[in-house]
Amino acid sequence: MTALRMVAASTLALIVAASIGAGAVCRRGYADQDREHPNEPPSREHPLGTDELGRDRFSRLVYGGRVSLLIAPAAAAISTALAAAIGAATAALGRRWHRTVSAAMDLFLAMPTILILLTARALLPLNTSPWLSIVITCGLLGCLGWAQSARVFRERAASLLASDFMLQARASGSNTFRTFVAHIVPNLRPAITAQFWIATPLFVLAEANLSLLGLGVSEPAPSWGNMLRELENYASVPERPWVLAPALALLIVVCCLHLLLPARSGTGSALRGGGAVCQPLH
């Protein structure tokens, strides 16, 4: 591991540890309000100042990291699992199934994902709890982001099914299910690992985009995305540069994940076995 990757790994580990141990890091809760000191600049009591409700921005930043860094890997896991299952099944079940699922993939890739999310969010009651909104955001991102990755797994599984060792397994009398479990699934693991780690930073940004639009995590639960809504009043940013802290946190995390990605074992072989990588939103 190079020095740059070591720095990225240490930085990411520090951010994750601070987010998990937010209760020990922060002196205030993320929803605690100090109505007498709204929109205060940074001070000893409030290292990043307060928002319009008097809530401590530093506490919300740290607790928000817990939410953002939980949603992204969970959504990436859902998306990758769906893509692997659908892609491998498509390769194994024949030409008719292949055409049907390929049409579904094209449909999902052609659909304006943001409109689907807007519709799903509009169907929810206005009093949806913050934690339910987190679960819904995670589920929507995961279920809508599988199509591009499924193509990778379909091509990889198809190449494995046509390989010499699969021909030998079938000639030895191995049934389809046993052959699939014993030979295809283990050989897909590098691709699954690669696609998961590629998807994670994309879902970090996807969650931030949704929450910025008011479609993701609901107040008062913090996420880096809904904290970015303060930047809508961009004219005041030069006077209050500390409101850029969530954007800086997002940039650091995404850069660290991309720096660590080439170090994952199997990434290169997995990408050579497939095609494009997943794109959760378009």
Query: Stretch 246-253: mean pLDDT, rounded?
Result: 93
Query: Stretch 142-150: mean pLDDT, rounded?
Result: 84
Q: Which residue has the higher pLDDT, 92 or 151?
A: 151
pLDDT for residue 1: 61
pLDDT for residue 264: 43
In this predicted structure, the answer to whether residue 282 has a pLDDT above a threshold of 90 is no
Beta pairing partners, 50: 56
d(CA 257, CA 67): 17
CB 53 within 8 A of CB 30: no
Query: Stretch 48-58: mean pLDDT, rounded?
Result: 91
Q: Could you report the per-residue pLDDT of 76-134, keeping only the tens digit for each?
A: 999 999 998 888 888 777 777 778 888 888 888 887 777 777 777 677 776 778 888 88
pTM: 0.80
3-state secondary structure of 55: strand
The answer for residues whose C-beta is within 8 angstroms of residue 152's C-beta and 6 or more apart is 83, 87, 191, 195, 270, 273, 274, 275, 276, 277, 278
Q: Which residue has the higher pLDDT, 162 or 8?
A: 8
In this predicted structure, the answer to whether residue 273 has a pLDDT above a threshold of 50 is no
In this predicted structure, the answer to whether residue 269 has a pLDDT above a threshold of 50 is no
% of the chain beyond a pLDDT of 90: 19
- Domains of the chain, by residue range, sit at 3-273
What one-character-per-residue DSSP string does 76-123 give? HHHHHHHHHHHHHHHHHS-HHHHHHHHHHHHHHHHS-HHHHHHHHHHT
CATH 3.30.420.40 correct for 3-273: no
